[in-house]
Amino acid sequence: MINLSPREKRQQRTHQAILDAARKIISTKGISGLSMRGLARVIEYSPAALYEYFGSKEEIIQAVVEQGFERFTGYLDRVDKTLPAAEYLTELGMAYINFAVQNPDFFLLMFTTAPLADVHGELSDEADETDQLKADASFSILLRGVERSIAEGITKTGANYGAFEIAYTLWVHVHGMAMLQVTNLRHISHDFDQINRLSLHILFEGLAAQ
Amino acid sequence: MINLSPREKRQQRTHQAILDAARKIISTKGISGLSMRGLARVIEYSPAALYEYFGSKEEIIQAVVEQGFERFTGYLDRVDKTLPAAEYLTELGMAYINFAVQNPDFFLLMFTTAPLADVHGELSDEADETDQLKADASFSILLRGVERSIAEGITKTGANYGAFEIAYTLWVHVHGMAMLQVTNLRHISHDFDQINRLSLHILFEGLAAQ
DNA sequence: TACAATACTGAACATTGTTCAGAAAATTAA
DNA sequence: TTAATTTTCTGAACAATGTTCAGTATTGTA
């Protein structure tokens, strides 16, 4: 895995160059601004050459989204884990929103692109498919933060809800803020940082209540 | 306005037939399944005829989204207003999510389509543009519910936050649930109703806390 | 140096949104 | 009713898109 032949190195470089160019185009001109011909022009290949590396435009987009989630997870993972749980979760949420606001079109694409022909349902029927969530890298970061907040007594659990339910609650709240910031509220010139923090604070009070 | 000439009636009928057909196509085949030729075939016109009624495909989509928001507002408005504020706001939120789940592609389009060349900013610079929100029909429904909840003592206000901030908090939370249901969690066979209600309940505890 | 695999190009195809000259239909004027 | 005019619609065409494919370079191996 570590040692690559010169050919494989070239392949990987081109593969990545295509994805980088695609990501940049999407970030600047939106997903509708991405064309195979334009993409080919940027990396100085003919349009047909792209099909040596990817089966279709859809596959390219899928790969860009996949790498996007990796960068996203990395971004969230960079939040200082030595912070007290309450602050940590707040900053985690703000990082989530920040990522969205700084790459609005890209974020939008990530969260509106359905995974291509996922092989989920392999363990299927019986098993609760929310397991998929728990396996998700960025959700796991949140989940660990929540578990710590429970240990620190910041959030209370009950018969109905444990760490998973609390994490879900935080997720939807933050995701809603991020999403609205990037769609409905996008062109409203107003700084939402303060109200977002306040809003999160209110939610934490609910999570702390018995 | 009420009396229309036969010609105007025909125009309006065709106009609406186009939008209805477009909405149906989007609901069944997604936005990428909408083509001018396919749309024309459904209403039994030639593709070029569509341009007699709309300037472009983009304008058609815009109009479909606009009517979508009207239907959406109507849907929310149908929630029983005689319910106690807490229950009312809960049911309002669940209706929001229901609308999304029942028309996933359509909902997605509505909340990811940027309004075309909006004339906002006309009162501009000085005025806080969050006023746009307060003018929004569906947000107003929520706002009135929140004001009632304040009157009933269900939610507390503070120096930092009044009805607007509380409404925003509820909105992002519910919107996050709806959005995730329609994107990330779409193909997970799991009933989220229970956890969504629970999640909302937790938020209300925060809103009730001092 | 010859052979084989890989990487790429150019030209073509079907499909898309859109335009436009003109035919058909509906409305108005005579 | 007829003639003129306006509205409504069609067919053919255009440029741009994603994709394919035969064939040509380029690279790697014997």
**Over pLDDT 70: what percentage of chain B?**
90
User: Integer distance in angstroms from CA B113 to C1' D19?
Assistant: 28
Which CATH number fits the domain that encloses residue B38? 1.10.10
CB A21 within 8 A of CB A43: yes
- pLDDT in the model for residue B206: 94
A157 CB within 8 Å of a chain B CB:
no
What is the percent of chain A where pLDDT is above 70? 90
Report the range of poorest mean pLDDT among A97-106, A175-184, B134-143, B192-201.
B134-143
Contact assignment for A195 to B129 by CB distance below 8 Å: no
What is the complex's ipTM, to 2 decimals? 0.92
Q: Encoding tokens for residue A104?
A: 């609005």
Question: Do B38 and B94 share a domain, yes or no?
Answer: no
Tell me which residues of chain A, numbers 168 to 187, contact chain B at a CB-CB cutoff of 8 Å: 168-169, 171-177, 179-180, 183-187
The torsion angles phi and psi of B86, rounded to 5 degrees, stand at: -60, -50
Q: In chain C, which nucleotides are within 7 Å of a protein Cβ?
A: 6-12, 15-21, 26-28
A98 touches A192 (CB < 8 A): no
Mean pLDDT of A56-62: 97
> What pLDDT does residue B8 have?
82
Are the C-beta atoms of B94 and B158 separated by less than 8 Å? no
Same domain flag for A127 and A51: no
Q: Measured in angstroms, what separates residue A64's CA from nucleotide D19's C1'?
A: 20
* Integer Cα distance of A99 and A88 in angstroms: 16
- A68-72: average pLDDT: 96
Q: Please indicate, yes or no, whether residues A71 and A51 belong to a single structural domain of this protein.
A: no
The CATH number assigned to the domain holding A91 equals: 1.10.357.10
pLDDT tens-place string over residues A155-184: 999 888 899 999 999 999 999 999 999 999
Q: Of B9, B30, B55, which residue sits at a domain end?
A: B55
Residues A34 and A83 in one domain: no
Q: What pLDDT score was predicted for residue A188?
A: 87
* Alpha-carbon span B119 to B146, nearest angstrom: 29
Mark whether A128 and A166 lie in a shared domain. yes
Domain count across chain B? 2
Together in a domain, A71 and A49: no
Which residues form the domain of A13?
1-55
* Domain stop point among A55, A82, A100: A55
pLDDT of residue B132: 77
Residues B189 and B145 in one domain: yes
B169: which chain A residues are within 8 Å (Cβ-Cβ)? Answer: 198-199, 202-203
In whole numbers, what is the pLDDT of chain B averaged over residues? 90
Cβ of B129 within 8 Å of Cβ of A190? The answer is yes
Closest chain B CA to residue A156: B202
Q: Poorest-confidence range of A119-123, B50-54, B122-126?
A: A119-123
Domain boundary among B35, B55, B75: B55
B161 near A CB under 8 A: yes
Secondary structure element (H or E) that encloses residue A194, with its range: helix A193-208
Q: Has residue B163 got a pLDDT over 80?
A: yes
Q: Which residues of A touch B195 (CB under 8 A)?
A: 165, 168
One domain for residues A48 and A97: no
Cα dist from B195 to A94, A157, A166, whole Å: 24, 14, 10
Q: Chain B: give the shortest CA distance to residue A181, in Å.
A: 10
Taking residues B81-89, report their average pLDDT: 97
Chain A residues with beta carbon closer than 8 angstroms to that of B168: 195, 199
Whether B171 and A176 have beta carbons less than 8 Å apart is answered as yes
pLDDT > 70? residue B161: yes
Instruction: Verify that B39 and B143 share a domain, yes or no.
Output: no
Based on the fold, state whether residues A170 and A193 are members of the same structural domain: yes
**Contact residues, chain A, for B179 at CB < 8 Å:** 111, 175-176, 179
A74 touches chain B (CB under 8 A): no
Write down the number of H helices and E strands in chain B. 9, 0
Q: How many CB pairs under 8 A join A and B?
A: 126
What residue has token string 């459904």?
A: B42
Residues A141 and A162 in one domain: yes
Tokens 């032949």 correspond to A5
Residues 6+ apart with CB under 8 A from A193: A94
pLDDT at B61 over 50: yes
Each residue's pLDDT tens digit, A82-140 = 999 999 999 999 999 999 999 999 999 999 987 654 433 343 444 566 777 777 899 99
**The predicted structure's pLDDT at residue B127:** 57
Same domain, B33 and B77: no
